[in-house]
A and B are shown apart, each in its own frame.
Chain A
Amino acid sequence: MARMSAVLATTHHPFFHKITELTPPEEQPTFAAEWKSKVLAYRETLTAAKPDVLVMVGSDHFHQFFADNYPTFLIGKQARYDATFYNEVREFSMPTYELEGHEDFSGFMFQGLLDRGFDFSISHELKIDHSIICPIITTRPQADLPVVPIFTNIFAPPLPSAKRFYDLGRAIASIIEEWPADVNVAAVGSGHLSLELGGPRMFGEHGPDPAWDLQAIEWLAKGNIEAILRDVTWDSMVAAGNATPGFLDLVLMLGIAGPIEADYVDDLDLFHTREMFMTWYPEGDPRSGAIGEAR
């Protein structure tokens, strides 16, 4: 059976690549060096898990999908995926990618989700946007592993509840554990803390609700799903910023990890938003030497 070697939940900041890689060092903002250093440290948490396959969770920002047919939950099942759209390259200087897929695992995941009551949509012509490419850039820039992409609607309300996102994560974890393959699977998902886009609180010196961010990080880091299910509603999220429901994908990642404390927690308060870098090792921390030799 497959091993769940790591679960990573992170914010995705589409300007990281432009600011730290495409901007000449002398023109980079003062926070760039610390930002890059934190990303490199975070990347090590995935590298240490020696993943063979990545289950990646993100959301389409009206790039491929639109309100004529917007899937609540969708999985890709393809041998290859193209990534990043014209308007992301235009706005964020995002690089384009071609990612290898894993059709067998996507099919196993799709069937497992249906069996567990999650009636997913499926795409055989999915193009991947920055919600998945940003964590590729930060955690696996060589993009050398096959991916199983899972997209959620955190964007076009009304949305499913936080409990539904968490339960979906639990279902994904159980399917990974049942997959009859001798491989290490890492789950990597991205979302947001408090965030405002196209509203009066955007592009300030901090994110729209720094106190909410710290609370949200603590919930996730402690595996405190009870508090999340009590306090995280559509109304409470949009009170913290109109794009804050991207937090639901981080709740989904906690669902994959389970209600346990995180093994790695870091963050960086930036202008406009706060970055968060979190990793769980549900089957043991590979950095401690507890896993690996015995397998």
Chain B
Amino acid sequence: MSRYAVNKFLYQVDGDPSLLAEYKADPAALVARWETEIGPWLGTGARTVERTSWISLTEEERRALVEHDYVALFEMGAHFFLTLTIFIALYDEEYAARSGPLSFQREYATKLALWNGKTYPSVAL
């Protein structure tokens, strides 16, 4: 498992409007591009010389990111704040227009209801 890489993806895409737009329009293409062109640079800034050789996603992590599967991300211990923030950015507006304010957030919580009363997967790295 490479939760660090998953969190790095969420952090970098959420903080960049152009990456966020790509992630909404074509998640598979953006995830693939991130794995080869964005994620492997050292740290999270604008470096283009120093690389991190070992950054990669597992098959299940890649699938969860491509399918916007926030339940799977929660269950694999991706940080809850990064996950919530990016999916609000992707879905809140269209849900609110269709079903009223906070309808996306409430659906998100409902999909995680099986975790009520249980110890959540750790987000510690």
Contacts and interface: CB of A to CB of B under 8 A. Distances in A.
Contacts of B122: 157
Interface string B50-84: 00000000000000000000100010000111111
A62 B83 CA distance: 11
A200 B124 contact: no
A158 interface: yes
Interface string B17-36: 10000000000000000000
A17 B4 CA distance: 33
B10 to A, nearest CB: 9
A69 to B, nearest CB: 7
Interface in A196-245: 197-204, 238, 242-243
A165 to B, nearest CB: 18
A199 B85 contact: no
Interface stretch (A83-91, A258-266, A285-293): A83-91
B26 to A, nearest CB: 20
Interface string A43-70: 0000000000000000001110011110
Contacts of A156: 79, 123-125
A35 interface: no
Contacts, number: 81
A199 B112 contact: yes
A224 to B, nearest CB: 28
Given A62-B82, A86-B17, A200 B88 contact: no
A144 to B, nearest CB: 30
A108 interface: no
A155 interface: yes
A243 B81 contact: yes
A1 B53 CA distance: 53
B79 to A, nearest CB: 7
B113 A91 contact: no
B100 interface: no
B43 A68 contact: yes
B1 interface: no
A242 B122 CA distance: 10
Contacts of B116: 200-201
Contacts of A238: 120
Interface in B102-117: 102, 105-106, 108-110, 112-116
Interface of A: 61-63, 66-69, 85-87, 90-91, 155-158, 197-204, 238, 242-243
Given A198-B70, A242-B120, 10 more contacts: A66-B44, A67-B11, A68-B43, A90-B17, A91-B88, A156-B123, A156-B125, A197-B84, A200-B115, A243-B80
Closest 5 CB pairs of A and B: A198-B80, A198-B84, A200-B112, A157-B124, A203-B105
